[in-house]
Structure 1
Amino acid sequence: MIVPWQELDPDTLDNLIQEFVSRDGTDYGEQEYSLADKVSQVRRALAKGEAVLIFSEHTGLCNIVPADQVRDWNH
């Protein structure tokens, strides 16, 4: 299910984004970015609609994914 990120408590959203950007395997290319930079990049992607917050009722986990990968999630 797609979760409207705007409806989350700001602290909860920050915690979700920080957890996401600090996961193993999260790759930002050859350039190194600080945690604050990574959080800002993800926040901008959410605000622009380029990324969405997904909650899996099956696993109970949240993830942030590119919006173009979830076109049919709500159907």
Structure 2
Amino acid sequence: MIIPWQQINGETLTNLLESYALREGTDYGEQEVPFDKKIESLRSQLENGDIVIVYSELHESVNLMKKEEFKASENEQL
């Protein structure tokens, strides 16, 4: 289920973005990107609709996904 980012408290949204950016395996290319720039980039992608916040009832977890990946996973389940 997609959770609209606009409905999330500002501090909670920032914490979610920071948590995602800190996860191992988040790749930003060959050059290291400052942490605040990573957060800014994630926020911009959310605002543009490139990524979405997804809640998994099965796993009781929240994650960020590319919008296309989410749509593809939804189609697979049908």
Deviation, structure 1 residue 60: 1.1
Deviation, structure 1 residue 71: 1.7
Deviation, structure 1 residue 70: 1.3
Deviation, structure 1 residue 34: 1.2
Output the CA distance in 2 between the equivalents of 1:65 and 1:40: 16
Say whether residues 1:43 and 2:43 are aligned partners.
yes
Query: How many aligned positions are there?
Result: 75
TM-score (normalizing by structure 2): 0.89
Q: Identity, % of aligned pairs?
A: 35
Is the helix fraction higher in 1 or 2?
2
Structure 1 unpaired stretches of 5+: none
Aligned to 1:57: 57
Deviation, structure 1 residue 8: 0.2
Aligned to 1:3: 3
Pick the structure with greater CA Rg. 2
Structure 2 unpaired stretches of 5+: none
Output the CA distance in 1 between the equivalents of 2:68 and 2:58: 22
- The Cα RMSD (Å) is 1.6
Deviation, structure 1 residue 31: 1.1
The 3-state SS of whatever aligns with 1:58 is coil
Output the CA distance in 1 between the equivalents of 2:35 and 2:54: 21
Moved over 3 A (4+): none
Aligned to 2:66: 66
Deviation, structure 1 residue 50: 0.4
Q: Which has the higher contact order (CA 8 A, sep 6+)?
A: 1
